[in-house]
Structure 1
Amino acid sequence: MQNEQKKYYVVTQNAIPEVLLKVVEVKRLLEGKNPPSVMEATDQVGISRSSFYKYKDDIFEFHENVRGKTITFLIEMRDEPGLLSDVLMIVAKSRANILTIHQSIPVSGMASTSISVQVMPETGDVTEMMDQIDAMDGVKSLRILGAE
């Protein structure tokens, strides 16, 4: 058997097959206060137990595996006074540690900003933080460049 190195990918929910999303849902159910059995949870979401066991160690929600890591994301945003400050306020409220900020000179009213944050043990849900930034008026797009 070859010694293969694992590769990791960051994809959006739209690119993930439904069976994998259901595996994540089963994992969520099993982590609840009164967790059902694996059989009950898989029946509830509509997948087989074999599918769950086949993929359970290979898919996880982004925020489950980022504690103690550095995440770098790129934001395309309008060049408006206070917009970057509002973005940074969301990061601060999420209790992530800002390591670097780099903003390009705006071109045609748009600026590219890369932000690296350290996800601390007390940091809130990273996915929620990024969703809040992405939903801001003036933010055209947000994408993850890397996590280390």
Structure 2
Amino acid sequence: MGIDQTKKFYMVSKDILPEAILKTAMVKELLARGEVLTVNEAVERVGLSRSAFYKYRDGVFPFYQASKEKIITVSLILEHRPGILSNVLNAVAHFKGNILTINQGIPLQGVANATLSIDTAEVLGDLEELIYKLQQISGVKKVEIVGQS
């Protein structure tokens, strides 16, 4: 069963999604983690009807699942201080991300833009965790996934 190449996918913030979509994602996570054994048990736990789950299940999946084994492009805004880019690269390496390209602009007004292309085929855990860790690095002002292929 291959991916339908005519379908388009969008990355959307969870705060604008309807409740049924969010609950469908929660059901899929419960099942994937083995916290429940059946769809019935999962939909009851999150308060979703079985019909709504089956309606949306093939169109809802976590970002990290969609991005696994792909190349993502991450845009960062970094303070202009020694070692910040090095800390970012070390964090990516810690998660077993393979950095393919690094582009960094000239610092202006104390910050520099950097763009990383990362092969995610071997990434440990999920990409949301990696992005969160990058955001926690001192001197990292912003982290945003701007593309994937």
User: After superposition, where does 1:60-79 map in structure 2 within 5 Å?
Assistant: 60-79=61-80
Q: What is the distance in 2 between the residues matched to 1:121 and 1:136?
A: 22
Q: What is the distance in 2 between the residues matched to 1:132 and 1:87?
A: 9
Q: What is the distance in 1 between the residues matched to 2:15 and 2:35?
A: 30
Following TM superposition, by how much is the alpha carbon of 1:31 offset from its aligned partner in structure 2, in angstroms? Answer: 2.0
Partner residue, 1:52: 53
Q: What is the distance in 1 between the residues matched to 2:46 and 2:73?
A: 33
Calculate the aligned-residue CA RMSD, in Å: 1.7
Q: Sequence identity of aligned pairs in percent?
A: 39
Q: How many residues align?
A: 145
Following TM superposition, by how much is the alpha carbon of 1:92 offset from its aligned partner in structure 2, in angstroms? Answer: 0.1
Partner residue, 1:23: 24
User: After superposition, where does 1:22-41 map in structure 2 within 5 Å?
Assistant: 22-33=23-34, 35-41=36-42
Structure 2 gaps, min length 5: none
Q: What is the distance in 2 between the residues matched to 1:76 and 1:32?
A: 34
- Deviations along 1:35-92, whole A, 9 cap, x unmatched? 3321221010011111111111111111112232100010112111100000111100
Partner residue, 1:146: 147
Structure 1 gaps, min length 5: none
Mapped contact 2:97–2:122 kept (Cα < 8 A): no
Q: What TM-score does the superposition give when structure 2 sets the normalisation length? A: 0.89
Q: What TM-score does the superposition give when structure 1 sets the normalisation length? A: 0.89
Paired amino acid for 1:113: A
